Structure 1
Amino acid sequence: MEIRLTDEQMELFQQKAKNYHDNKTAMIIDAVAQFNDIRTRRKIEVMTKLMTFYQQYEQRLGWLGGNFNQTMKRANELAVAGKLEQSYFEMEIIPRVDEIQPLIQELKDYLTNLSEKTF
């Protein structure tokens, strides 16, 4: 095999070959193997970014669920104290809760399942 290099490229090549105890063949084989893994490294970088996004999303979802629970507790307290009509609580708020609660739980379950598969 013949390789054409500039003087600067040759100097760099020789410097890097020292890490391989001047075994240039081993260095080239290693470089070729790593070159093939560039696509894999990019995928890992994307996965790392997605995991960061996932963690932020999971935190926000937890915050949303916590706020939702506090709001429902307060609405219930107001209804019991007579400051919120019981009929409004039962006819308006509870049906919305019944719609939202399964969606929040489904998202939490999905993220938990994804996390368990990933780690």
Structure 2
Amino acid sequence: MDNGFKAPADTKANRDAARLLLTRDGVEPERAKAVASWALNDEFWRTNIRSFSKFREKFETLEAQMQRPQRGSGPMTFDEQRNRANNDLFMEIAESAAGGEVWSVDSWNRQIAQ
């Protein structure tokens, strides 16, 4: 896969990590390939997994994130997720504080004046 980075070095450490992932950790090759493919396409992980040793170390985290349901039509970036959570929280607070109506400039001014 061409992701803009050079291929990992064929070192003993990388070969050992791959072997241990499959033998000691009991990960089936197709499962490892699916997680690796997902990680290489993920905006965050493709820049943070630079060796097979790191891939093995983070395998469970990668797989859990891969299986996490996505909201919307495509995967959201961390900033998009944070903004959506903040907006949702703001709306909940605004609705409860304003008696069901969303804050506006007028309601904000009434709150300050009290």
TM-score by length of 1: 0.36
> Which has the larger share of helix?
1
Larger Rg: 1
Does 1 or 2 have the higher relative contact order (CA < 8 Å, sep 6+)?
2
TM-score by length of 2: 0.37
